[in-house]
């Protein structure tokens, strides 16, 4: 991603810890609520699913669309952030 938001930079720069799912770029209050209702209230829950999906971009984007209705731009922001966090932290 050529230009990243402050939200993205902060997310990637910090340990995962107990971050709320809405700290993920592309995931706002409405999507966060839908994710929480389905058992994904923490960013590490979404990270776990990202890893279960073997960090595959298409699978991750499709999952975000299906589970919370994220659009293409939101899917891309969340995927890019999780990928960068994993590349730096795992």
Domain that holds residue 48: 6-89
Q: Which residues contact 22 (CB under 8 A, 6 or more apart)?
A: 28, 29, 31, 32
Torsions phi, psi for 42 (to 5 deg):
-115, 150
**The residue to which tokens 């990637």 are assigned:** 12
Q: Kindly state whether residue 76 falls inside one of the protein's structural domains.
A: yes
Asked whether the predicted pLDDT for residue 13 surpasses 80, the reply is yes
**The residue to which tokens 């402050």 are assigned:** 6
pTM score: 0.93
**CA-wise closest residue to 78 among 17, 8, 18, 20:** 8
Tokens of 36: 């929480």
- Which helix (H) or strand (E) segment is 75 a member of? helix 72-89
> In CATH, what number is assigned to the domain containing residue 11?
1.10.150.40
Asked whether the predicted pLDDT for residue 25 surpasses 50, the reply is yes
What would the pLDDT profile of 33-74 be if each residue is shown by its tens digit?
Answer: 999 999 999 999 999 999 999 999 999 999 999 999 999 999
Asked whether the predicted pLDDT for residue 1 surpasses 70, the reply is no
Q: Kindly state whether residue 1 falls inside one of the protein's structural domains.
A: no
Q: Kindly state whether residue 21 falls inside one of the protein's structural domains.
A: yes
Total of domains in the chain:
1
What does the pLDDT read at residue 38? 98
């Amino acid at each position: 991603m050529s230009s990243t938001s402050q939200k993205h930079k902060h997310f990637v720069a910090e340990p995962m810890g107990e971050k709320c799912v809405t700290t993920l770029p592309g995931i706002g209050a409405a999507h966060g609520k839908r994710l929480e209702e389905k058992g994904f209230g923490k960013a590490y829950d979404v990270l776990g699913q990202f890893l279960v999906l073997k960090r595959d971009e298409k699978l991750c984007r499709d999952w975000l669309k299906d589970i919370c209705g994220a659009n293409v731009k939101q899917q891309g922001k969340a995927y890019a952030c999780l990928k960068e966090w994993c590349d730096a932290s795992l």
